[in-house]
Amino acid sequence: MSDSNSSAAVPPVFRGLRRIVVALAAVVVSGSAQAHADQSQRGWWLWPLLVVCAGLYTVGVARLWQASGTARGITIWRVGAFGAGWLALATALADPLDALSQVSFAAHMAQHEILMLVAAPLLVLGKPLAAFVWALPRATQRRTAARPFRGAWWHSWWQWLVHPPVAWTLHALALWTWHAPAWFEAGLEHDAVHDLQHASFLASALLFWWALARRRPDGVAVLYVLTTLLHTGFLGALLTFAPHPWYPTYTAAINPWGLTVLADQQLGGLIMWVPAGAIFMLAGLLLLAKWIRTLELPRPHVCKADGDRS
């Protein structure tokens, strides 16, 4: 369908979704601005980026549906997944959770797990890159924007990034590096380092789930998830059973739950160990079930010629 139809009416189902996205963006941005009015402005640049991403996705899906029909190309459930992922991302980065993360390690850990295990997979399921390209108003602009991503250099580089061993390693490095006491403390003391910490958590998690989403369920996919379950669970156990606090900065803070610094750290370790582990376990079991189902599919029956029968 030509670009002359770009002014056609947006499908009613999408008009409702667009109103929800706009309302959520207004609430999150205004609430964050008010909460940070008398605090440090760490992460302030994320809010315009969140709103722009939501707007581009909304416009892109609307144009795609106008051109190809409602729910074609990007289905309604994928749009819902992106909306839920966007809301989870905003929840993790906004107050009160962001403010609590400055005085409670457990809140900080909950913030990280929402970023990596809720927001990231839901955003990936929403097929955002396709929607962002369709946000451009003209077909020629869309082709121009997509051309660099079709080149051999980008293709080989992207294929390397989302290769399961590479994505797995990058995500594991981000987790273990940033939870080392020196790096974690640097994030608590310096806003720029804190923003870098969150960006690396989200980026590595997006690559992790992207690599998984593009792969058919098989033994490698199951191993990919379960090994992540093991090493993240081990890190959570280390935090839970540590005999002393790892992060001295929290000793000077007033814990909102009335916990000691060590108890707060143990609670944070349990958040990484149990709820996060349950998500990985569920993902692994679903992949295993799908893999087994593909192995059990009946193979096409080959009829033998009469002369071949015994």
Query: What's the CA gap between 299 and 155, in Å, rounded?
Result: 34
Residue 70's pLDDT is: 86
Q: How many residues are listed for the chain in this entry?
A: 310
Residue 73's pLDDT is: 87
| Closest C-alpha to 167, from 222, 212, 135, 125 | 212
Query: What's the CA gap between 106 and 118, in Å, rounded?
Result: 17
Residue 37's pLDDT is: 47
Structure tokens, 145: 């924007």
Query: What's the CA gap between 109 and 238, in Å, rounded?
Result: 14
Residues of the chain with pLDDT under 70: 1-44, 140-143, 145-155, 297-310
Compute and round to an integer the Cα radius of gyration of the chain.
23
Residue 303's pLDDT is: 52
| Closest C-alpha to 54, from 73, 36, 35, 27 | 27
